[in-house]
Chains A and B, each alone.
Chain A
Amino acid sequence: MGVGESQNVAVPVDAREFFFEQLGIQERWLEENVGRALCRRADDADLYFEHRTIESVSLEDGLVKTATRHVQQGVGARVVVGDRVGYAHTDDVSFESVCLASRAAEYIALESGESRSIAVRVERPPHQLYRLKEPPIVVPPQEKVHLLSRVDEVARGFDQRIRNVLASIVVEHKVILIARADGLVVGDVQPLLRMQVTCIAEDRGSRQQGSFGGGGRVEFAFLTEGDRYLTYARKAAEQAVRNLSATDAPAGEMVVVLGPGWPGILLHEAVGHGLEGDFNRKGVSAFAGRLGEVVASPACTVVDDGTIPNRRGSLNVDDEGTPTSRTVLIENGVLRGYLQDRLNARLMGMRPTGNGRRESFAHMPLPRMTNTFLLPGEYTPEEIIRSVQRGLYAAYFGGGQVDITSGKFVFSASEAFLIEDGRLTRPVKGATLIGHGPEVLKRVTMVGNDLQLDEGIGTCGKDGQSVPVGVGLPTVRVDGLTVGGTRPAS
Chain B
Amino acid sequence: MLLPEIAESVLAAAKSAGATAADAVVVKGRRLEVGVRCGRLEKISQAEEASLGLRVFVGSQSAVASTSDLRRENLQEFARAAYELARMVAADSYAGLPPLEQLAQDIPDLELYDPEVANVDPQRAQELALRAEASAMDTDSRIVNSEGAECTAHTSDVWYASTAGFSAGYQDSAISVSVVPVGRDSAGMQRDYWYSSARHLALLEPPERIGRTAAERTLRRLNARPVRTCEVPVVFDPETAASLLRHLASAVVGQSIYRGASFLAGRLGDVIAPHFVTVVDDGRLLRGLGSKPFDAEGVATRRTMVVDSGVLRSYLLDAYSARRLGMQSTGNASRSVGSNPFASPTNFVLQAGTTSPEEIVRSLKQGLYVTELIGFGVNLTSGDYSRGAAGLWIENGEFAFPVQEVTVAGNLLEMFASIEAVGSDLVCRRSIASPTVLIGRLTVAGRG
Contacts and interface: CB of A to CB of B under 8 A. Distances in A.
Interface string B420-448: 00000000000000000000000111111
Contacts of A435: 405
Interface string A60-81: 1001111111111110000000
B382 A282 contact: no
A91 B37 CA distance: 29
Nearest to A485: B409
Interface residues of B, number: 82
Interface centre among B82, B147, B224, B377 (most CB of A within 10 A): B377
A54 B336 CA distance: 14
Nearest to A250: B445
Contacts of A489: 229, 448
Contacts of B384: 429-430
B84 interface: yes
A405 to B, nearest CB: 4
Interface of B: 37, 40-51, 62-69, 81-82, 84-86, 88-92, 95, 122, 145, 147, 182, 188-191, 221, 224, 226, 229-231, 259-261, 263, 265, 337-340, 372, 374-377, 379, 381-382, 384, 386-388, 390, 404-411, 443-448
A88 B191 contact: no
A411 interface: yes
Contact of B406 (A6, A64, A142, A482): A482
Nearest to A81: B41
Contacts of B69: 71, 73, 91
Contacts of B51: 72, 91
A64 B48 CA distance: 36
A68 B65 contact: yes
Interface stretch (A122-130, A204-212, A217-225): A204-212
Contacts of A405: 147, 182, 189-191
Contacts of A135: none
B404 to A, nearest CB: 6
Contacts of A484: 377, 386-388, 406-409, 443, 445
21 contacts: A57-B88, A67-B86, A68-B63, A70-B65, A70-B66, A74-B49, A74-B68, A111-B41, A164-B259, A200-B260, A208-B382, A398-B376, A400-B375, A401-B374, A406-B190, A406-B390, A408-B390, A410-B377, A414-B379, A432-B388, A482-B406
Given A207-B263, A403-B374, A85 B387 contact: no
Contacts of A208: 379, 381-382
A121 interface: no
Given A252-B229, A484-B409, A488-B229, A90 B41 contact: no
A284 B191 contact: yes
Interface string A81-114: 0011111111100000000000010011001000
B240 to A, nearest CB: 14
Interface centre among A87, A484, A487 (most CB of B within 10 A): A484
B219 to A, nearest CB: 14
Contacts of A251: 229, 407, 409, 443-445
A43 to B, nearest CB: 14
Given A66-B340, A207-B382, A401-B388, A406 B404 contact: yes
Contacts of B410: 486
Contact of B375 (A399, A406, A414): A399
Nearest to B148: A282
A432 B407 contact: yes
Nearest to A398: B376
Contacts, number: 277
Given A68-B63, A73-B68, A88-B47, A408 B374 contact: yes
Contacts of B407: 251, 410, 431-432, 434, 482-484
A402 to B, nearest CB: 8
Contacts of A202: 260
Per DSSP, chain B at the interface is strand
Contacts of A6: 81, 84
Contacts of B386: 249, 412, 430-432, 484-486
5 smallest A-B Cβ distances: which pairs?
Answer: A484-B407, A410-B375, A432-B377, A410-B388, A412-B377
B376 A399 contact: yes
A87 B62 CA distance: 38
A3 interface: yes
Contacts of A364: 43, 45
Nearest to A86: B44
Contact of B382 (A71, A107, A209, A482): A209
Contacts of B337: 70
Interface string A177-202: 00000000000000000000000101
B49 A91 contact: yes
A482 B446 contact: yes
B436 to A, nearest CB: 23
Contact of B226 (A57, A67, A166, A482): A482
Nearest to B442: A486
A206 B443 CA distance: 21
A157 interface: no
A252 B448 contact: yes
Contacts of A71: 65-69
Contacts of A73: 68-69
A69 B229 contact: no
A485 B231 CA distance: 11
Contact of A482 (B66, B92, B447): B447
Nearest to B372: A403
Interface string A146-187: 000000000000000001101000000000000000000000
B443 A487 contact: yes
B188 A408 contact: no
A237 interface: no
A283 interface: yes
Contacts of A72: 51, 66-68
Nearest to A408: B405
A394 B381 CA distance: 20
A41 interface: no
Nearest to B49: A91
Interface in A378-437: 398-403, 405-412, 414, 429-432, 434-436
A359 interface: no
B262 to A, nearest CB: 8
Contacts of B224: 406
A485 B445 contact: yes
A317 interface: no
Nearest to A482: B445
A3 B80 CA distance: 9
B41 A108 contact: yes
Contacts of B382: 206-209, 243, 429
Contacts of A410: 374-375, 377, 387-388, 407
Contacts of B48: 90
B36 to A, nearest CB: 10
A69 B81 contact: yes
B88 A253 contact: no
B407 to A, nearest CB: 3
Contacts of B45: 86-89, 364
A402 B404 CA distance: 13
A405 B185 CA distance: 12
Contacts of B64: 66-69
A167 to B, nearest CB: 12
A142 B381 CA distance: 31
B430 to A, nearest CB: 15
Contacts of A429: 382, 384
Given A67-B88, A71-B67, A164-B261, A436 B44 contact: no
Given A66-B340, A69-B63, A431 B90 contact: no
A488 B231 contact: yes
Nearest to A77: B46
A137 interface: no
A284 B69 CA distance: 41
A81 to B, nearest CB: 10
B174 to A, nearest CB: 15
A226 interface: no
